[in-house]
Amino acid sequence: MFNLSIPLMQQGVVMKGVSRTPGSSRTGKRRSYGRLRLVTLLLAFSLIIAAPILNFRYHIDFIQGWYQSVSIGNLWFVSPLEGLETILTSKGIYGPLLVGMLLPVVLASLLGRVFCSWICPISLLSELLERVIRLVRRRRYRAAGNPLPRQILWFVLVGELLLAMILGAPIFVFLSPPGLVGREIMLLVMFGTLALEGIVVILVLIMHLVSKRFFCRYLCPLGALLALLGQRRQLKVEVDHEECVQCGRCKLACPMGLDPARQEGGSAYCWNCGDCLDSCQVDALHFSWGQK
C-alpha cells in the first residue's frame, strides 16, 4: 500500500512515494482508453462523412445512412430507441426493423452504453470542446458533480416514449442529437447547406459547457434505453479495495459524475469509457467480464 497525502492528492499536487506522469500506472505502462476512444469516435465520424460522399458523388452504396440507421454491406444497424418509437407509433412490427435493432441491443446488453462513449458524435464534439477549453484555460475541464438526481434519465425515457405515442410521431427520429449531426453532414454534402434543427446540437454542447455531459447524463432517452439494456451487462468497471488509496482522482475524471472507487462503475449509469482507469495511478480499477 502506498503512503499518500490524500488532501493534496485531491488537488492533484502530491503523490508521496509515487512519481508518475498522468495516465501512467503502477506497472509503468501508460493506460490510454481516452486516446483509444478518441480514435474510435473519429473513425465512426469519418464513416458518417464518407457515406454521403460515396453515395452521392461516386454512386457507391456499400455504406449508407448515419447514426440512427446505418447499413454496411448487408449488415443493417438501427438505433434501438428509434426502432422502438417506430413500432409504438406505427403500431406495427416490421421484421427487418427488428433485425436491424438486434445487434445494437445485444451489444448494449453485453457492453452497456458503449455507443454513447465510443461512437456517438455528441461525445466526439464534447471531447473536442473539452480539449479546446483545456488548451485555452491550461487546466483540465472537470466534471461538475451531480447537479440533478441521476434517476431523471429514466423519467426522460418514459416521458419521451409516452409523448411519441400521444403525438403519434417518432420524436427522437427527428430530434435525436446524434441523428441530427448525421443529417446535417448529409445536407452539407448533398446541398451545401445546413438545417435549422441543427441548433439542437449547439444547445446540447452549450449544456455541456454548463455542466459536463449534462444532456448525456440526464436528458438523452437513447442513452437511458441503452443503460437500461445494459443494467446486467457483462463488461463492468471494478475496484480493487486493497489497492485503492481513496485519492478521488477517478471521481474527478468520470464524465458521468460517478465514483468508481465506491463500485459505481458497475451501475447502469456507467458507460464504460475507461476514463477512470486512465486516471487511477495505482491500478486499483479494471474492466471485468461476467456477473459476479
State which residue, 31 or 183, has the beta carbon closest to ligand SF4: 31
- Can you tell me the distance from the alpha carbon of 283 to that of 279, in angstroms, rounded to the nearest whole number? 9
Which amino acid is present at 269? Y
Residue with cell 437511458: 224
What does residue 120 show for φ and ψ, rounded to 5 degrees?
-60, 135
Sign of CA dihedral 225, 231, 235, 240: positive
**Does residue number 260 form part of the binding site for ligand SF4 (CB under 6 A)?**
yes
- Mark 220-259 with x for binding to ligand SF4 (rule: CB under 6 A) and - for no binding: -----------------x-x----xxxxxxx--xx-x-x-
**Could you tell me how many residues of this chain bind ligand SF4 (CB under 6 A)?**
28
Sign of CA dihedral 81, 87, 93, 94: negative
State which residue, 1 or 196, has the beta carbon closest to ligand SF4: 1
What does residue 56 show for φ and ψ, rounded to 5 degrees?
-90, -30
**CB of 113 vs ligand SF4, minimal distance in Å:** 8
Instruction: Please give the helix or strand (H or E) that residue 236 lies within, else none.
Output: strand 235-239
**Does residue number 41 form part of the binding site for ligand SF4 (CB under 6 A)?**
no
Which residues, other chains included, contact 289 with Cβ-Cβ below 8 Å and sequence gap of 6+? 234, 235
- Mark 188-227 with x for binding to ligand SF4 (rule: CB under 6 A) and - for no binding: ----------------------------------------
Among 86, 123, 126, 279, binds ligand SF4 (CB under 6 A): 279
**CB of 222 vs ligand SF4, minimal distance in Å:** 16
Binding site for ligand SF4 (CB under 6 A): 237, 239, 244-250, 253-254, 256, 258, 260-261, 265, 270-276, 279-280, 282, 284-285
